[in-house]
Amino acid sequence: MNFPKFGKSKRQKALQKRGAALPRYVNMKPRVDNSKVLAQAKKRRFRTRLEGAGVLERLKGLKIVRVFLGVIIISAIAGLIIFLRTTTLFDVKEIGIIVDKQPNYAIVEEILEEYRNRNVFLISAAEVEEKIKERIPSVNTIFVNKSLSGILNVEVIEDSPIYYLANSNGIYLINQDGEVMEVIEPEVKLELSETEQLIKDNKLPADSDQVRLKYMERFETEEEKSQVIWKDVPEEEKEAVLNQMKESINAKIADFNNRLQDQVKSDRFRDLVGSYIVADAKYSVGDQIPLENLNFLSLVQDFFKSKNIGIWKSAWTSDYTLEVQLDGNPTVLFSVKRSYTEQFEDLNTLIYYGQFNGARIVDVRSSNYSVIR
């Protein structure tokens, strides 16, 4: 009969005497991930404890109460909506209107009459504001106040323009934020033909057919016209005809500008800072206008006002050059690229020494200012 051996084997004892570490045996069988099983076991133990304490029964009761309360709330909301839609208790019976400008009162009244006898709870203030702004573009702020007693009060505050820009496409009223508030059609129209537009833009050659036809107008008979050989006509004569055509167009533009000037000098624009701009510029209500040039123009007008010198006309001849025509005085050329204080100092010097008298053009766009007589 074999008995089990106890103690260390001879090999283990030999290894221990030599100081060698005893071998460690590792179970190479892959381990099974039982984390999910353990998690489920914990849940079961937790649930068992809750059931033992009666907590689950109470939670089920709370769920039923919550569902019951939800049904009651939904029913109450639905009933309130039906009540508000059918009752006349909160209908609009009185409308109050405050506007800045009397002509716009009728417009606002017409819009608000649509809401008479409608429930105040079903009237959207945003909708009222949108409708008024569509009809009156110059509106800045609208206050809508609804009362349970059936009163709808609306106050309309309109923007006030402080600038205007004018050209053949319209007169643009601009507020202090640089936004176009209103576009006013010129009382007269500047209509240029295709040929006139080419001449105005300096794109018509002197030897063109348009110039030839104008040149032929000096001859009365067809026989005289037939004898003209256009290519043999001296260039000087062709240029003279073209210059004559330019003068005619400039006179047409000047006449339009004078009529437009009369329009912008009316009472409506008299207190506004304004100027002319290039004819191809066109803006719509809501467009944003850079204020740098307009503020510069305002400073120029304040300067001449302090000198008791009236301005007849201001025009931007380019993005940077402002041309100011003074009443009974020269035309002054300013530049936004140079400090306005330096330009005003030069003008003060010229005015002090009397160099304004008899001058046609004063150019202060650079430090080397010039006076043309």
Give how far Cα 25 sits from Cα of 19, 22, 28, 317, Å.
19, 10, 9, 99
Is residue 102, in this structure, part of any structural domain at all? yes
The number of folded domains in the chain is: 1
- In the chain, the percentage of residues whose pLDDT exceeds 90 is 14
Residue 364 lies in a domain: no
Q: What is the pLDDT of residues 97-138, one digit of tens each?
A: 888 777 788 888 898 888 888 888 778 888 998 998 888 877
Q: Residue 342: inside a domain, yes or no?
A: no
* Enclosing domain of residue 137: 94-158
Which tens digits make up the pLDDT trace of 198-256?
A: 888 888 898 888 888 888 888 888 888 888 888 888 999 889 988 999 999 888 888 88
pLDDT at position 82: 62
Rounded (10°) angle between helices 340-352 and 291-306? 20
- Whether 219 is in a domain gets the answer no
Question: Residue 333 domain-assigned?
Answer: no
CB atoms within 10 A of CB 346: 19
CB contact set of 282 (below 8 Å; sequence gap of 6+): 169, 170
In a domain, 244, yes or no: no
The verdict on residue 139 lying in a domain is yes
Q: Cα dist. 64→51, 59, 60, 240 in Å?
A: 18, 9, 6, 101
Please give the span between the terminal C-alpha atoms of the chain, in angstroms, as a whole number.
144
The span from the CA of 224 to the CA of 152, in Å, is 82
Dihedral sign, Cα of residue 124, residue 127, residue 131, residue 137:
positive
Those residues of the chain that have pLDDT short of 70 are: 1-69, 71, 79-90, 267
